[in-house]
Amino acid sequence: MLIRGRLLIDPTRSPELGWLRIESARIAEIGTGDPPRDQPAQTLGGRDCIISPAFTDAHIHLPQIDSAGCDGLPLLPWLESVIFPAEIWWGRGHALSMARTAARRMLREGTFNFAGYLTSHAEINREAVAYLRDKTPLRFIVGRVAMDRNAPDELTAEDRARASSRPVPSPAMASLGSNNNHRISANPRFAVSCTDELLAEIGWWHKEHPEAIIQTHLAESQQECALVSELFPRDPHYTAVYDRANLLTPTTLLAHCVHLSDDEWRLIAQRRSIAVHCPAANIFLTSGLFDYHAALRHDIRLALGSDVAAGADIAMPRVARGYIETAKVRRMTVDPDSPIPTPADAWNRITRENADLLGWPDTGRIETGAAADLLVLRVPETWLDEHIVGRLIYNWSSRLIESRIIAGQAVDPAKL
């Protein structure tokens, strides 16, 4: 396969006309200008197309795929009245149809890789994982949500019933093996819904599997932080709860991180854990404004996530827009010295940097030898200037995508 167009190799520079030759699911050759005369029979794109890496979402909840837009509630009441019922629905036999919907929507918007949450149900989640693995081309890190309190019995019963066993993936889910494209994570929901014993068990499991990913939430809302202080009175702050349980690791994804002290930022940096900024969700639930300035000061490893369904938009370019706009709002209202990420920085986050942090350094980029995970975009001619990345972020629509190429093969989301 040969793909022609303006290659968005470096988002800090205007894309130049060129071509890619794809062999064995990878980019075998990159050239500038017009392609060689002996073109392969299958050729995609054209001189007026943009060729971009596909996107990676570092935080999404698949069971919440149809729960976006239930507005007017802060985090904890929203979980009780909207999200817990949706997760119960998933567990009552609707997981496969919802997983299919989520996969289609991600592919439609150009997201080929994700880190996400399932529910606390073991058996039906095995089926959902098998579907994602066998019937979709997506790369993923997913985990069964661990929770044993402060939620409906239908969501906490399994962890309470096996309190003496470790909350690890069941054998059927673990049978995904060592395929780096499909990995099972440990997902303690957040400290509010987990007892000390459950967090400790996950921490011990991770000591035996240090390469495994941990996904959890941290300091999303002030009400949540206050409740954690009541539930864990011996810990000096929220982040210390996870650290005491050995859950702050270089492979830990900490969603939100909105209300953190300097001590907490320093601890996260020391443990090299990854903060996942979810700008749309933080605004939707009026949780707060992520402190990008603090993250930079402390040299935090930073990813971006849609956080569907608190984040109402699954499209990562619109998440990138929220990343920029949150920093602008903080500069205008809180911190006049707060830096503002550029469109190029935001584009790097949702492509190369998110992929790197999730352990997929062969995707999210246009390089010889990289996986041929690409988007062929057809944009207005007036966009083809030094502002092309900003134009894509602020005007994003899935209608811009002419072709989706995963591992060198064209994919149609509607055919999943």
66-99: pLDDT as tens digits: 999 999 999 999 999 999 999 999 999 999 999 9
Structure tokens at 346: 């935001």
The model's pLDDT over 116-145, given as tens digits with 9 standing for 90+, comes to 999 999 999 999 999 999 999 999 999 999
Do 205 and 167 contact (CB within 8 A), yes or no?
yes
Over residues 373-415, the pLDDT tens digits come to 999 999 999 999 999 999 999 999 999 999 999 999 999 999 9
Euclidean distance between CA atoms 237 and 239, whole angstroms:
6
Mean pLDDT of all residues in 4-8:
97
What domains can you pick out in the chain, each with its CATH number?
2-53+365-415 (2.30.40.10), 55-357 (3.20.20.140)
- Before 68, cis peptide (omega within 30)? no
- 294-326: buried (b, 16+ CB within 10 Å) or exposed (e) per residue? bbeebebbbbbbbbbbbbbbbbbbbbbbbbbeb
Helices marked H in 246-289:
262-271, 279-284
Rounded Cα gap, residues 386 and 389, in angstroms: 8
Query: Quick one: pLDDT band at residue 113, thresholds 50, 70, 90?
Result: very high
CA-to-CA distance for 173 and 313, rounded, in angstroms? 28
Spatial neighbors of 164 by CB under 8 A, at least 6 apart, are none
Relative to beta strand 139-143, strand 182-184 is: parallel
> Does the pLDDT at position 162 exceed 90?
no
> How confident is residue 168, by pLDDT bands cut at 50, 70 and 90?
very low
Q: Are 184 and 143 in contact (CB under 8 A)?
A: yes
CA 182 to chain centre: 14
Helix (H) or strand (E) holding 294: helix 292-297
Per-residue pLDDT band for 165 (boundaries 50, 70, 90) equals: low
Average pLDDT over residues 18-34: 96
With a threshold of 0.85, does the pTM exceed it?
yes
- Backbone dihedral angles phi then psi of residue 145, each to the nearest 5 degrees: -70, 130
Per-residue b/e over 93-118, b at no fewer than 16 CB within 10 Å? ebbbebbbebbbbbbbbbbbbbbbbb
pLDDT at position 129 is 97
For residue 414, the one-letter residue type is: A
CA distance 128 to 176: 13
- In single-letter form, the type of residue at position 302 comes to L
